[in-house]
Amino acid sequence: MAADFDLWLPLATDAPRRWTVGLGTLAKAGRLVRIVCAEMADLVLPPACPVCRARLGSAGGLCADCWQSVRFLERPWCERLGTPLPIDLGPGILSAAAVADPPVFARARSAVSYEGPVPDLVHALKYADRTDLAPMLGAWMARAAHELVPDADMLVPVPLHWGRLASRRFNQAALLAREVGRLTGLPVASRTLLRSRRTPQQVGLGRDERARNMRGAFMVPAGRKVDVTGRRPILVDDVLTTGATLEAATRALLAAGATAVDVLTLARVVAPS
């Protein structure tokens, strides 16, 4: 049974009247307040494209020019790495890179190529506190994850070291995982995987340097191994570059008992054809 809140409203100095307000009424009032506040905010700060600052009719999207510059990844792609292929050779096809150096994760899928306006969107989310972009970006990722979701048990965001989390105040991978979970119904296991040591920034490092940098950087605490034992998680991050971070995180999940690990990212770096 829904609880009620008792509000005492002093309508007179000598005899306050007691009003009982249900949770449904409070929820409706809260929605109305949020709508009014959003409309007032739009009057003061009209919605703008987060990339080029062009005026928009409503918040939460891109302008037409920036939208057309986003390269959504579609089939045909490598079944293992999710990298686009120039021609469709049928189901189950693997790229040369997947055959020569198979990843430890089972499958990787990314929503968009890391080019055009996408780097600006990722930078705004991570470093400019544009958490309002998470619903749009998470929706792109949920679309890309449609092949992975039926086999998955949970979403596991790639964690930040506690020191970096304290300075940034939020984990962008966890925000994106939450949006994907909301759209797909998969639970988000934010505390299952931990970063056991703080690693230097990966920017500017080559593939081998990134791999050495991330070796042993993740762990599943003993009390959390039951979360992944015999289960298949989807590892969630913002960008897939060389895959070093995701491979290190995958190894930690597999060592904890996961049967297989798939990978989902917002974007991936795609080599020119």
More confident of the two residues 124 and 271 = 124
Q: What is the pLDDT of residue 269?
A: 95
Q: How does pLDDT run across 212-231, given as a tens digit for each residue? A: 666 778 999 999 999 999 99
Q: Is the pLDDT of residue 38 over 80?
A: no
Residue 187 identity: P
Residue 61 lies in a domain: no
Residues 119, 11, single domain; the answer is no
Assign 24 a pLDDT band (cuts: 50, 70, 90). low
Overall average pLDDT of the 112-129 stretch: 95
3-class DSSP assignment, residue 174: helix
Cβ atoms 62, 49 nearer than 8 A? yes
| Rg, the chain, Cα only | 23
Assign 90 a pLDDT band (cuts: 50, 70, 90). confident
Q: Is the pLDDT of residue 173 over 60?
A: yes
* Percent of all residues in the chain with a pLDDT value above 70, rounded to a whole number: 77
Counted domains in the chain: 2
CATH code (residue 79): 3.40.50.2020
Q: What is the pLDDT of residue 161?
A: 80
Residue 132 lies in a domain: yes
More confident of the two residues 137 and 217 = 137
Assign 5 a pLDDT band (cuts: 50, 70, 90). very low
Q: Is the pLDDT of residue 17 over 70?
A: no
Residue 65 lies in a domain: no
The pTM of this model reads 0.80
* Exposure b/e, 199-216, CB count within 10 A at least 16 = b: beeeeebeeeebbebbee
Residues 30, 159, single domain; the answer is no
Overall average pLDDT of the 76-93 stretch: 93
Q: What is the pLDDT of residue 27?
A: 57
Assign 263 a pLDDT band (cuts: 50, 70, 90). very high
User: Residue 17 belongs to what domain range?
Assistant: 4-44
**Distance separating alpha carbons of residues 28 and 7, to the nearest angstrom:** 17
Residues 111, 21, single domain; the answer is no
